[in-house]
Copies of this chain bind each other. A is one copy, B any other.
Amino acid sequence: MRTAFHDQLDSVFDDLADICDQVRTAVRIATDALLTGRADLAERAISGDAAIDAARERVEDNALAILSLQAPVAGDLRVVVAALRMVSDLERMGDLSVHVAKIARLRTPHIAVPAQCAPIIGRMAEIAESMVARTADVIRERDVDAAAELRADDEEMDKLRRASFAEMLGSEWTSGIEAAVDIALLGRYYERIADHAVSVAGRVVFVVTGEQPTVA
């Protein structure tokens, strides 16, 4: 039986999926700024974060209203708390996109990523964006199978991170310390975006199945 509680909860999950779409856009614009050195894109990625923060506040207010007015217990309570955690993850993913954009802005009009590392960082960014896009689908469709697939992507992300270290420490690295420090931090940011995507998707699995997957 549908209840006011479930309708309100559906609306919170719709909002979470919308925020996930916003995060995807943020990752894409920050990456474009990074790989092109375009200052205008970096600024757009940085200033766009305020909208994600505002959306997070609305979702939090709605979730608290549900807790206050419906006083859910047991499984229902855990679902609302899961929603609160998902929105924290999503906000953090937005912050990490800002960190990527700030490295881009620091180096503009130059490109922070040396040509030698562009394929690895480009692929990390691609995976991160794709994971965020699929996380939005996972939230919208409550798609437990798609959530499991995200873990495979997360493993590719870890491999790419190791590859980036191998590149920097290899004898052919001619891009110096500054670029290496940028790449180390960029790798960390994209990896964290991926971790949070896995975490959000894992919470959807919990919401659907009642089973808590072991998440990062």
Contact = CB atoms under 8 A, between A and B. Distances in A.
A178 interface: yes
A110 interface: no
A185 B73 CA distance: 42
Contact of A185 (B81, B178, B188): B188
Interface in A77-135: 77-78, 81, 84-85, 88
A168 B185 contact: no
Interface stretch (A6-14, A32-40, A63-71, A140-148): A63-71
What DSSP secondary structure best describes chain A's contact surface? Answer: helix
Given A180-B181, A181-B180, A64 B84 contact: no
Contacts of A185: 184-185, 188
A152 interface: no
B188 A177 contact: no
A165 B184 CA distance: 13
Contacts of A78: 64
A181 B165 CA distance: 9
Interface residues of A, number: 23
A175 B173 CA distance: 15
Contacts of A188: 185, 188
Interface string A179-195: 01100110010000000
Nearest to A57: B212
Centre residue among A85, A88, A180, A181 by max chain B CB count within 10 A: A181
Contact of A181 (B71, B73, B81, B184): B184
Contacts of A1: none
Contacts of A177: 168-169, 173, 177, 180
Interface of A: 64, 67-68, 71, 73-74, 77-78, 81, 84-85, 88, 165, 168-169, 173, 177-178, 180-181, 184-185, 188
Given A68-B73, A85-B88, A88-B88, 16 more contacts: A64-B78, A67-B67, A67-B77, A68-B74, A84-B84, A165-B181, A168-B177, A168-B181, A169-B178, A169-B181, A173-B177, A180-B180, A180-B181, A181-B184, A184-B185, A188-B188
